[in-house]
Structure 1
Amino acid sequence: MRTTAILNLKGGVAKTVTTVNMAAILARDYKARVLLIDADCQCNCTEFFGGTSDKGTLADILRLPDSYPDPVTFCADCIRGTTVDGVNLIPGDDSLMDLDLSKVELGRVRMNVLRQFVEAAKGLDDKGIYDYILIDCPPAFNAASAAALVAADDIIIPIKLDAFSLRGMGNLMRQISNMRKINPRLKLAGVLPTMWYRDAQMQDAEKMLADAGLTVFPHIRRSDKVDRMTWQQRPLLATSPNSAAGVDYRRFVKAYMRGGQENV
């Protein structure tokens, strides 16, 4: 089982679009069992699959008191189905925005509870309930993103290849490096250029990331089909599988499954 956090501290880089389409491709094309965890207070991943339910959310999980007798079962009880066969979801809610790192220090947030659940889900033979757990992280470093990185095996960084995003990479890499002190197994699977179009600056930016020693996944071309997908609340496999972005996401997932990883 592999647990991957989809993370960037900058918004508007297609984190949720990447998470949703990864899950759909893994489930349909590779017959994998996938769990999504929505750690973003904007809850776009949750909304994509129809909103919250009467079950618990990630915010409820992170607020569990240390004395709670069985946090793993509580996590499992929060899981619900989605519109994609083979894909389940632990939803988020907007109270995630209240879970800042100061509450971790005060003991009001259990940063390691997701890791406990992931370890239990792996089972003794590492062939547990799910094949992949994908965590849609917020565009900020807070208690939810910290909990995600404590639980994750690796990280994918979707990035729009503009000057602001590239300048923010240094801070992001420092945060990841700091989290490896808590979770030494945490790796950077790679950087995923999104909303790509043919341009000399785009190509130069890809080369710059590769020259810095980062694994750069095959880019995702800009496509209006992505906007349409979000309105229809169905992944590209269902709406526009042969669109530029649809083809590119399948190519990316194939590269992801090859498992090339680099230490931060």
Structure 2
Amino acid sequence: MTLTQLEIFSLVAELSGFTAAAHRLGISQSAVSHAIKSLEQELGVELLRRHQSTVELSDIGQQLLLRARAMLGLANTLRQEAADARGMKRGTLRIGSFGPTSSIKLLPDILRHYRAEHPGIEIHIDEGPDRQVIQWLEERRIDVGFVVLPQERFDTVALIEDQMVALLPADHPLATRNSVSLSELCDDPFVLTEAGSSEMVSRLFNAARLTPNIRYRRSQLLSTLDTVGRGDGLTVVAEGSLPEHVDYRHVKKPLSPPVARQVGLAVLDRRQASPATLAFIKLAERLSDR
């Protein structure tokens, strides 16, 4: 069993195909197939079920994939600790990010400083909904991820705090109020933004034993803003995810009672995090204290 075989296995599982993995790795499809077949023969189990145009993990394949990614993570940490002794001249950092708060307002400044301090570290960024970032962390697809706190299953550090706000059409009856309650947001069509803090919004309503009238599920904040601006619905979003100037078609109002949101960074286990990951966290903390 080699690390190369485990890397190929992990990538085939992620991309659900031998051809896609071969293209990503820059090797032939036959080389990918041979690596998987050799690994299966050595382990004595079928890791992947082949179909005409795709592959899927077997039950034991799903179990061993987590082990394989854990081993690859430790191997990456070993390499980076060696690189750290040489001044972190080489290494890889995989970051998970969600929504405008992390992808637009936090990450660019952190990356600018990080690249200046560690130009030899290769950085990969995956973007998805907040719950997807959590899944990527659990599956070890990323080294560090931006998350909405608290997240007790991970080692975390807080970076910023903002407020959840109601976003209303400018001509909505509630637009003249100083603040609005969750219960007042349940009658109108509701827009749930999947890219941002959708899990937190759902938990807020569930905790209050309320059910919003969800008519739209948007994958991007821009489409949410457009839906609200047209007067087709209202929503609850994090204030930090909004543009600096909400245009004339929208009105944002604090919730009553107020609801704070914390955004931070999470790793699966800080004791096993690579030097590149720890350096990223330390830098993000330093910049958030400015």
Question: Structure 1 length normalisation: TM-score?
Answer: 0.29
Q: From the two aligned structures, give the one with the greater strand fraction.
A: 2
Q: Considering Cα pairs closer than 8 Å and 6+ residues apart, tell me whether 1 or 2 has the greater RCO.
A: 1
